[in-house]
Structure 1
Amino acid sequence: MARVFILRWTPCDWDEERRRRALWAEIAGERAWTKFLDRRGVLGHYALAGSDRAPMLLHGAQGAIFGSLFQRQRLGAAPLGDITPSQTSRLVESGRGAELSRDYWGAYLAVLHDTGQDELVIVREAAGAHPIYYGRLGKSMAVFSHAEDFLALADEAQPDFEFLSAFCAQSRLVTPRTAIKDVRELMAGEELCLGRAPGAVAKCVVWAPIANARSFTSEEFDAAAGGLRETVFAVARSWSQTSSEIVHRLSGGLDSSIVLGALKRATTGELLAVNAFPADVAEGDERRYARAAADASDTRLIEVAMSPAHISYERLLDAYFSAKPSRAAMSFTDPTMGRAIAAEMNSPLVTSGQGGDQVFHRLRTPLIAADAWCDGCDLAELQRIMVDTARLARRPIWDVFGAVLKYGLLRQPLASGPFGSRARGCEPDAIKTLLNEHAWARVRAAASPARAMRIAHIMDLQYYHQPNGLNAQFATHPILASQPIIEFCLRVPPYVMTWGGRERALARAAFQDVIPGEVLARTGKGDTTRYHVAALARQLPFMREMLIGGELERAEIIDGVELREALSRDVMSEGSRSGFLSSALLAEIWLRRFYALQRRFVEPGHRPEPPDGSSASSEAPQA
């Protein structure tokens, strides 16, 4: 993903401008930065890695759009290569994020500079591609993708121990909070507006899931299946036109097999499927299903052996440094898959079936029947849905009936969690507070019970765009985590998605001729517990070195006695302990790197003194 750094100060504040320009010149170093904004208190640069798509620069130096942007009215067409001057003016001066989310879709980050209103606007698309953060630098604001660039200018930045404690308890937190105090992440579907005054910071939602959409009834199941099929195929056609080479990560599960079938029908370039399998244990080996899916779509398949011996947690010490630790960083510990892909293709688009669980409603919960009550289904239909839901959830019908009464009729709020924690000072309420900072929290609270769970899962889609070992090397996109597919699925009630008491029933019906029967019949996923426990066990010496007496223990975020017990080899088989240790390691390494960057950037003589009048140009910068 493109590296982006933008400074925003009050126009005509010459002292602040000189200071920020001088500091930027110092920290920019030898990186190949390209300037794309330099006007009226805004200085914007970007740098591209080998796999990054060059941004679409807007006419009149009014900003840029990073990533791929498609027109909504031409679903299935190639990405846009340009936006006309009239479209640019409308987008920058009036439409902004609302127009982007209404008329376009893709995996993009939009930077719009409205010089007429003196406003800098940042828009992040609906599924959360291109993570972006913002924070204050003195009288200026910074918008950035890489935390290292921000810390180079932020003398007084401090870690947010409350967030780090919560991360150790629940590592897939979806919240705007970061591990740097007072730095926030712009979440999926949000727009950030920075005005000319130092405190003029506003944020709004330009896209969010509709709480209780219902465009299809149970009687319209076939129509819904046809619409889903058409939408997925069209999205695959659009993405297939972003690269002449596509590598698809084929697990052998339902979702990745659906995407492979759609890509095969869409692409005119080279398509390769790749399956990762555990070399040392039979558990989690899904090559049988991957081979069947590849044969059904007549696609070449390569199989990549993954072994705990390939993994080194020490690679985390040099991995991408974000504003918050992330589970996705674990993919940096094993370069095997990246090397296998690079040996086959030079610069492919790497796709996967990720996001299918979220959009296709892979939930086995009695709450599905409660949604039918909330939607006003008649008693005969409600009874049928209750029976279907009991079959799906593998629960007695009376449990389903109780869920209908409790969460449908009485509309009791859903409980959050549970959040198990071995981190000190992190109570469940603290995690709930962080989760409720998300802009979609109100939409989720207003939704019917099963839809509320689905919205929480849609919020989680941006996890797939967090920096990881593959998107650091290649252009990647999880096809199913695309706005048109998300929006279509949200229009289908949960009890239609699971019609007949079958998990992901709508997706199975929509693509039954695309994937082989043995994959179509699958309802489970490959279990890789033994593989990950074996990997963790091999890394215990390094984990002990990092965690025992480390920064987290010194900050009293984790208890030293419990930590040493958890690090004993004879309890590594417990999932809760291994999960806690992995999260704690990620937080520990993040904190160590934070302090190391601080020491590096505050060394005497590292930063220049702000230029005085005698050394600066006598001509005032143009406003």
Structure 2
Amino acid sequence: MSYRYIALSVAVAGNLEDFERSVADSLRSLAMDCRGHVGCVALYAPQEAPAFDLPGGGILLGDLYDEVGRPVRDLAGLRHLPTQAAIRQHVLDHYWGEYLLFQPSDDGGTTVLRDPSGGVDCAYSLRGGNGFITSDLAIASRLGLHRDRIDWDFVRHCLLYPHIKIARTGLAGISELLPGCMLSVEGQKSSTGLGWSPWHFVTPAERQSDPVAAAQTIRDATTSVVRAMAETDRSLLLELSGGLDSSIVGACLANARTRMACCTAITPLPGADERRYASQIARQLGTKLLEQMLDFAEADIDFRLPRHSLRPAAWALGRAVARAMDNAAELQRVNSLFSGGGGDTVFCYLKSAAPAADAFRARGLTAGYRAIVDLSRLHGCTVAKAARLALRKLYRTPKGPCKPDGQWLLRTGVALPLEMHPWFSAPPHVLPGDRERIFELAGTQLFRDSTLRSGGRRVRFPLLSQPVMEACLRVPSWLWISGGQNRSIARSAFSGQLPHEVLNRRSKGTFMNYTFAVYRKNKATIGHFLLDGHLRSQGLLDPRELSLFLESPLPARDRSFMRIFDLCMIENWVRNHA
């Protein structure tokens, strides 16, 4: 859970005091104190939420660290910078954290920047410059400023593109300020734009071509971030999957001044038991590995979501894992949970031939051939096949961020185009691998929505922090497959800090057997849930085709049933907000 706050906005500055007076009693009942005024906005947050003033009348809400991970509580030294834009850029260039930056504009308006990791939630509703910006719509609801209404056009979009995050939400009139984006409120007008872009870090001028230096930079950035977060939280539970990414987070926790515990989830079926690997990291950290069994009954399709959740994102497996980790966190009485989520994407685990295509285009024939050999070793195919796939990637028109999935939806004959995430606007002549990994990086922004944890504990994704993203984006895609290993630079960076067996893993456990068992055991319940639900009543599902699928046996290794969980996820969200 991020820091709680609400910012009240008015188009006419003289009306702000009246707005504040009208909700003063409700704000006091929520223990919300005024932390300052910035342009047309009044910011309210509990006293324990860190906030400090910036030169020129700005306010930073949240946690800020310098480049070596030391907490920052004073930016008065930036008073020499000539403009608010210069201060904002300096913060982005020399600091990182989980924060919102409120700044005044020249004509009495306000600009809000959400940090590139998205660590502080930010939903807003502005009509003619009047409205609110908040971490939690429950606050706005208590003030009488919001009531949930489902945006059915968004639901239709989500059915086609369930794993894409856009600024639009499932609640009518509510938008989300996405990570790295800025919201400008000027009089009766509001607009958004990019304050931080991942495309900047894949340009030739930023490219880090020395693998040794790249590994050092990534090790330093990741270690600094993990330790800074851990020492801020003082106690944590590390969710260990046994794979490379969560193990790297564990390695960075060594010698951190914090109390920690480690936990892994196991299932009644084979395939997901990672204790052999996870226990090695726990021993290295001097703690016992806790084990949590995922019972089949815990993987509900019909469950309560946080009030006013913005979009469908949490599904049955996530629900089961959430309960397991919450149980462990409660027993250990920790303040936060640490995840290796996003590591595959940040560490450039591309499954296409794009890295070899990138090497050809950026470095020529010799580097391209070397990357093709690495690609063939990585995927266990012939050099000829790897070369053919790389050439195809070079010369074919690049694909879009994702394809629509209309399976089991009623066809209306009206095409519903993909609404774009701001990171989907690729610059001209960008390399294929950079295009793919930044598109995938945008998808990781759904992780915070889908990771349900209770008890007010923060969920940390250090591998999706600004310093780690920047360090990894600077490393070209072909270096990440060096020696025929995926995530090669990350392995090199932590080669002296991870157990040999973990460092050199090429495979990882899967929950597919467990997920299929949940589907098989609950087919009748799923059928009633979908065919008697809101999506059906809105004419969005094809009941005949859906019934036929649910009644038919699945061939071996057929994973088409996973689409059913997408539909259940969306139906469950709708039921929580209807």
TM-score range, shorter chain: 0.7 to 0.9
Assess if the C-alpha contact under 8 Å between 1:40 and 1:115 holds in 2: yes
Per-residue CA deviation, residues 196-242 of structure 1 (Å, 9 max, x unaligned), is x212434333343324346333xx32332233223222223322321
Partner residue of 2:191?
201
What stretches of structure 2 of length at least 5 have no aligned partner? none
Q: Structure 1 residue aligned with 2:69, among 57, 76, 84?
A: 76
Equivalent-residue separation in structure 1 for 2:240 and 2:555 (angstroms) = 30
Per-residue CA deviation, residues 71-114 of structure 1 (Å, 9 max, x unaligned), is 12xx132x22x22445479598343542321121112223x142
Distance 1:425 1:105, change over 3 A: farther
Assess if the C-alpha contact under 8 Å between 1:161 and 1:557 holds in 2: no
Equivalent-residue separation in structure 1 for 2:185 and 2:151 (angstroms) = 24
Equivalent-residue separation in structure 2 for 1:558 and 1:26 (angstroms) = 45
Partner residue of 1:31?
30
Q: Structure 2 residue aligned with 1:55, among 39, 50, 54?
A: 50
Deviation at residue 319 of structure 1 after TM alignment: 2.8
Distance 1:66 1:545, change over 3 A: farther
Equivalent-residue separation in structure 2 for 1:156 and 1:261 (angstroms) = 45
Highest relative contact order (Cα 8 Å, sep 6+), 1 or 2?
Answer: 1
Equivalent-residue separation in structure 2 for 1:202 and 1:269 (angstroms) = 38
Query: What secondary structure does 2:216 align onto?
Result: helix
Distance 1:91 1:592, change over 3 A: farther
Equivalent-residue separation in structure 2 for 1:353 and 1:312 (angstroms) = 24
- Give the alignment's Cα RMSD to 1 decimal: 3.3
Partner residue of 2:425?
442
Partner residue of 1:321?
308
Q: Structure 1 residue aligned with 2:163, among 139, 162, 172?
A: 172
Query: Letter of the aligned partner of 2:169 in structure 1?
Result: T
Distance 1:259 1:426, change over 3 A: farther
Query: Letter of the aligned partner of 2:69 in structure 1?
Result: G
Query: Letter of the aligned partner of 2:63 in structure 1?
Result: S
Q: TM-score, normalised by structure 1?
A: 0.82
Assess if the C-alpha contact under 8 Å between 1:390 and 1:396 holds in 2: yes
Q: Structure 2 residue aligned with 1:269, among 243, 258, 268?
A: 258
Distance 1:232 1:84, change over 3 A: closer
Q: Structure 2 residue aligned with 1:402, among 379, 388, 402?
A: 388
Partner residue of 2:150?
159
Partner residue of 2:485?
502
Q: Structure 2 residue aligned with 1:420, among 383, 394, 405?
A: 405
Q: Structure 2 residue aligned with 1:306, among 288, 294, 316?
A: 294
Assess if the C-alpha contact under 8 Å between 2:39 and 2:105 holds in 1: yes
Partner residue of 2:45?
46
Equivalent-residue separation in structure 1 for 2:535 and 2:287 (angstroms) = 48
Equivalent-residue separation in structure 1 for 2:317 and 2:236 (angstroms) = 24
Query: What secondary structure does 2:189 align onto?
Result: coil
Equivalent-residue separation in structure 1 for 2:39 and 2:96 (angstroms) = 29
Identify the range of structure 1 (465-474 vs 525-534) with the bigger mean alpha-carbon deviation: 465-474
Deviation at residue 460 of structure 1 after TM alignment: 2.5
Identify the range of structure 1 (516-525 vs 36-45) with the bigger mean alpha-carbon deviation: 36-45
Assess if the C-alpha contact under 8 Å between 1:17 and 1:41 holds in 2: no
Partner residue of 2:117?
127
Partner residue of 2:569?
586
Distance 1:429 1:76, change over 3 A: farther
Query: What secondary structure does 1:248 align onto?
Result: strand
Assess if the C-alpha contact under 8 Å between 2:40 and 2:109 holds in 1: no
Query: Letter of the aligned partner of 1:560 in structure 2?
Result: P
Deviation at residue 509 of structure 1 after TM alignment: 1.8
Partner residue of 2:362?
375
Query: Letter of the aligned partner of 2:273 in structure 1?
Result: D
Per-residue CA deviation, residues 142-190 of structure 1 (Å, 9 max, x unaligned), is 2223344556756897533332123223322122222234532211111
Query: Letter of the aligned partner of 2:115 in structure 1?
Result: E
Equivalent-residue separation in structure 1 for 2:317 and 2:473 (angstroms) = 31
Equivalent-residue separation in structure 2 for 1:8 and 1:124 (angstroms) = 17
Per-residue CA deviation, residues 45-64 of structure 1 (Å, 9 max, x unaligned), is 3359xxxx622232699464
Equivalent-residue separation in structure 2 for 1:417 and 1:43 (angstroms) = 39
Query: Letter of the aligned partner of 2:53 in structure 1?
Result: L
Assess if the C-alpha contact under 8 Å between 1:252 and 1:286 holds in 2: yes
Partner residue of 1:247?
237
Query: What secondary structure does 2:214 align onto?
Result: helix
Distance 1:578 1:393, change over 3 A: same
Assess if the C-alpha contact under 8 Å between 1:205 and 1:439 holds in 2: no
Query: What secondary structure does 1:58 align onto?
Result: strand
Equivalent-residue separation in structure 2 for 1:281 and 1:98 (angstroms) = 51
Q: Structure 2 residue aligned with 1:511, among 486, 494, 504?
A: 494
Query: What secondary structure does 2:163 align onto?
Result: coil
Query: What secondary structure does 1:43 align onto?
Result: strand
What stretches of structure 1 of length at least 5 have no aligned partner? 596-623
1:479 aligns with 2:479: no
Equivalent-residue separation in structure 1 for 2:295 and 2:82 (angstroms) = 49
Partner residue of 2:352?
365
Equivalent-residue separation in structure 2 for 1:134 and 1:204 (angstroms) = 17
Equivalent-residue separation in structure 1 for 2:154 and 2:556 (angstroms) = 27
Query: Letter of the aligned partner of 2:344 in structure 1?
Result: D
Identity over aligned pairs, percent: 23
Distance 1:594 1:303, change over 3 A: closer
Identify the range of structure 1 (246-255 vs 205-214) with the bigger mean alpha-carbon deviation: 205-214
Distance 1:21 1:63, change over 3 A: farther
Distance 1:127 1:329, change over 3 A: farther
Partner residue of 2:506?
523
Distance 1:91 1:467, change over 3 A: farther
Partner residue of 1:452?
435
Equivalent-residue separation in structure 2 for 1:128 and 1:89 (angstroms) = 28
Equivalent-residue separation in structure 2 for 1:29 and 1:325 (angstroms) = 32
Deviation at residue 192 of structure 1 after TM alignment: 0.8
Q: Structure 2 residue aligned with 1:491, among 474, 478, 482?
A: 474
Distance 1:402 1:7, change over 3 A: same
Q: Structure 2 residue aligned with 1:189, among 155, 180, 183?
A: 180
Query: What secondary structure does 1:375 align onto?
Result: helix
Deviation at residue 263 of structure 1 after TM alignment: 0.8
Deviation at residue 347 of structure 1 after TM alignment: 3.4
Equivalent-residue separation in structure 2 for 1:509 and 1:123 (angstroms) = 35
Deviation at residue 141 of structure 1 after TM alignment: 3.2
Distance 1:455 1:11, change over 3 A: same
Query: Letter of the aligned partner of 2:473 in structure 1?
Result: L
Assess if the C-alpha contact under 8 Å between 2:181 and 2:193 holds in 1: yes
Partner residue of 2:272?
284
Assess if the C-alpha contact under 8 Å between 2:198 and 2:470 holds in 1: no
Distance 1:156 1:290, change over 3 A: closer
Query: Letter of the aligned partner of 1:122 in structure 2?
Result: V
Deviation at residue 295 of structure 1 after TM alignment: 2.7
Equivalent-residue separation in structure 1 for 2:266 and 2:147 (angstroms) = 46
Distance 1:40 1:448, change over 3 A: closer
Per-residue CA deviation, residues 345-388 of structure 1 (Å, 9 max, x unaligned), is x23332122221011111232111110122033x2332222111
1:343 aligns with 2:331: yes
Q: How does 1:594-609 map to 2 (within 5 A)?
A: 594-595=577-578
Distance 1:304 1:289, change over 3 A: same
Assess if the C-alpha contact under 8 Å between 1:92 and 1:114 holds in 2: no
Distance 1:472 1:114, change over 3 A: farther
Per-residue CA deviation, residues 100-140 of structure 1 (Å, 9 max, x unaligned), is 21121112223x14276412221111122223122334661
Query: Letter of the aligned partner of 1:130 in structure 2?
Result: V
Deviation at residue 499 of structure 1 after TM alignment: 0.7
Query: What secondary structure does 1:513 align onto?
Result: coil
Query: What secondary structure does 2:5 align onto?
Result: strand
1:107 aligns with 2:98: yes
Q: Structure 2 residue aligned with 1:293, among 281, 285, 291?
A: 281
